[in-house]
């Protein structure tokens, strides 16, 4: 999905309203990288007050929520913590109980200066799980 449209700019502005500059910078580093996970441009972004969500077009499931806080971003993924590959402990993976995944969902906090590249690798795993798994049928 094309990220540079008026609705997206308005959504980002509302989401980041009153947030510290370092949080705005962090979100603005992460957001285009999430939208750019595929060359096909098949990721849909939606904004609400407090968070943005990301969904693969053609899938029922949202694979990622980014909740913008005052000191960090909370990222919740549609994948269980035990399904993540890699050095999960280095970024502080937590299990969240969320309504759409009764068995638990992985999530983490990303602070300014945190490893955005590694965070993106975890988000990509959730995207691939949703696209390749049960969430891929409409």
- pLDDT tens-digit map of 70-124: 999 999 998 888 788 765 455 667 666 655 555 667 888 999 998 899 899 999 9
- The answer to whether 30 touches 110, Cβ cutoff 8 Å, is yes
Residue 136, classified by CB atoms within 10 Å of its CB into exposed (0-12), middle (13-18) or buried (19+), is: middle
Q: Is residue 1 part of a domain?
A: no
Its domain, for residue 126, covers 6-136
Q: Is residue 10 part of a domain?
A: yes
Helices (H) and strands (E) in the chain, counts: 3, 6
* Residue 119 or residue 4, greater confidence: 119
User: What pLDDT digit, counting tens, does each position of 84-97 carry?
Assistant: 876 545 566 766 66
The CATH number linked to 91 is: 3.90.1150.200
């Amino acid at each position: 999905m094309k990220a540079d449209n008026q609705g997206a700019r308005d959504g980002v502005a509302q989401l980041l309203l009153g947030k510290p500059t370092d949080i705005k910078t962090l979100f603005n580093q992460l957001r285009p990288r999430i939208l750019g996970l595929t060359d096909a441009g098949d990721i849909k972004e939606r904004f609400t007050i407090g968070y943005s969500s990301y969904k693969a077009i053609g899938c029922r499931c949202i694979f990622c929520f980014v909740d913008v806080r005052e000191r960090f971003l909370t990222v919740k993924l549609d994948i269980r913590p035990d399904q993540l590959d890699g050095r999960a402990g280095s970024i502080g993976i937590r299990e969240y109980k969320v309504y759409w995944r009764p068995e638990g969902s992985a999530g983490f906090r990303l602070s300014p200066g945190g490893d955005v590249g590694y965070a993106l690798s975890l988000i990509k795993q959730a995207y691939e799980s949703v696209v390749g798994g049960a969430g891929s049928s409409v």
